[in-house]
Amino acid sequence: MSEIIRSFLAVELPELLKFKLAEFIASLQMKTSKTKWAREANLHLTLKFLGNQPADKIDALIPALIRGNSILKPFRLTTTKLGAFPGKKRPRVFWLGTESTPSNALMILRNWIEDNLEPLGFEKETKPFRPHLTLGRSKIPENFDALWEYLEAHPFPPFSFEVEHFVLMRSILKPAGAEYRVLQKFSLQK
């Protein structure tokens, strides 16, 4: 039987953006006590969560996604505002929004992935795509008034970068938190 691999497809972030986000997160961390904030190395933008799959099924998706190289084009991503899922009233996930240029580029990439993986047995996502960079997760409720107030005065300055590839990332769940490892890089057409 083949090994089971937990993985997802993601846009990697430039080191400088991860560094700046880690500084930003450190300032938010001081306003909370029970929220779990993301580690710098783990910051990314998820395109599609693949879950636990046999290694052969993951191997089979690699050639299908490599073909994107002749179809998909690089684009720019710019970070926007901090938001929360499901909402600010009882946040469970804190995230930073993104905007792509051209504006539909990220959606085109995500839809191309969905369309190309479906024939390989990966179910299409039914929930609307809300691209974001997860910064933290709140499982134990706490008062976020100080955090929201701080964010009004100290938003994350917009950061732009060119997306020239996306990755297949393995997620290894460990007691100290998930560890992510790039399994494969998929270039976008130059």
Residues with catalytic annotation? 44, 132
Comparing CA positions, the residue from 11, 73, 15, 84 lying closest to residue 46 is 11
Q: Say how far apart CA 187 and CA 70 lie, in whole Å.
A: 9
40 is an interface residue for ligand 3AM by CB under 6 A: no
Count of residues engaged in binding ligand 3AM, rule: CB under 6 A: 5
Q: Of these, 20, 32, 40, 46, which contacts ligand 3AM (CB under 6 A)?
A: 46
| Residue whose CB is less far from ligand 3AM, 32 or 134 | 134
Q: Of these, 134, 150, 164, 165, which contacts ligand 3AM (CB under 6 A)?
A: 134
Q: Say how far apart CA 51 and CA 137 lie, in whole Å.
A: 19
8 is an interface residue for ligand 3AM by CB under 6 A: yes
Residue 36 CB, nearest distance to ligand 3AM (Å)? 11
| Residue whose CB is less far from ligand 3AM, 73 or 178 | 178
| Residue whose CB is less far from ligand 3AM, 146 or 172 | 172
Long-range contacts of 101-110 (CB under 8 A, 24+ apart): 101/75, 101/76, 101/77, 102/75, 105/73, 105/75, 105/76, 105/163, 106/75, 106/77, 106/131, 106/163, 108/72, 109/47, 109/68, 109/72, 109/75, 109/163, 109/166, 109/188, 110/47, 110/48
Q: Of these, 4, 30, 49, 101, which contacts ligand 3AM (CB under 6 A)?
A: 49
Interface residues toward ligand 3AM, by CB under 6 A: 8, 46, 49, 134, 171
